[in-house]
Each structure stands twice: as structure tokens, then as C-alpha cells.
A = this chain, B = another copy of it.
Amino acid sequence: MDPDAVAKAFVEHYYSTFDANRAGLANLYQEGSMLTFEGQKIQGSQNIVAKLTSLPFQQCKHNITTVDCQHSGSGGMLVFVSGNLQLAGEQHALKFSQMFHLMPTPQGSFYVLNDIFRLNYA
């Protein structure tokens, strides 16, 4: 497993799904998954998707600037992303950083065990 290839594929899939249909992110999380979104802690796929689909904007577009990844031990992978987030109707894009800890599934795919998102204010 080439971590860079896994990270690249995951990042493309995650953000294109987020931008097209946030509800579609559900199968990337499991019951033990954790999201910390701007300091708010949420656990479990249902609650995480409820949080993401309730964010106060209709449309958004993530533009990814950097992707770094490393093996986390025990088969997992850490992915560290920075970029900007354009909300429909807003003049200026927001900057963000996000980290994911991906764990392998028995089917040979990955799910998100840990997810931490922060906006980077000017």
C-alpha cells in the first residue's frame, strides 16, 4: 500500500463528495469515528453526517493546496490537508486545515477513524 496514493485518492473522493452531496460521506465513517469541527466534538457516523449536513451553507467548493501523509502504525494512515473553502455567495474563500486518520476495512478500503477540522483565520 502506497500511502501517498491512498491519501491522494481519499482526499479527492472526500472533498468531491462533500462538495456534491454531504450526506454521501456517511459510509466513510463508522460508529467509533470521531470528528472535532472547530472545537466541537462529535462521535459516530450518524452524528457526524448530521453535523456536516447541517452546516449553514447550501453549496461549497474545497480547493486543496497541500496533502501530506504518513503511516500511523497498526495499518492506519494519517493525512494532513490544507486548502481553501469557497462558500456560494461569499466574496472571500475561507482557509482551512484538516487531518484524517484512516483505518483499513476488511474489504480493502479505508474509513475515517479520526477527523479534525479547523479554519485558519487571517
Residues of A in contact with B (beta carbons under 8 Å apart)? 34, 36, 39, 41, 66, 68, 70-74, 76, 78, 80, 82, 95, 97, 99, 101, 103, 113-114, 116, 118, 120, 122
Contacts and interface: CB of A to CB of B under 8 A. Distances in A.
Given A74-B73, A76-B73, A68 B101 contact: no
Contacts of A80: 36, 97, 99, 116, 118
Q: Give how many copies assemble into the complex.
A: 2
26 contacts: A34-B70, A36-B80, A39-B66, A68-B116, A68-B118, A70-B114, A70-B116, A71-B114, A72-B72, A72-B76, A72-B113, A73-B74, A73-B113, A78-B78, A78-B114, A80-B99, A80-B116, A80-B118, A82-B97, A82-B118, A82-B120, A97-B97, A99-B99, A99-B116, A120-B120, A122-B122
A47 to B, nearest CB: 14
A31 to B, nearest CB: 13
A34 B71 CA distance: 9
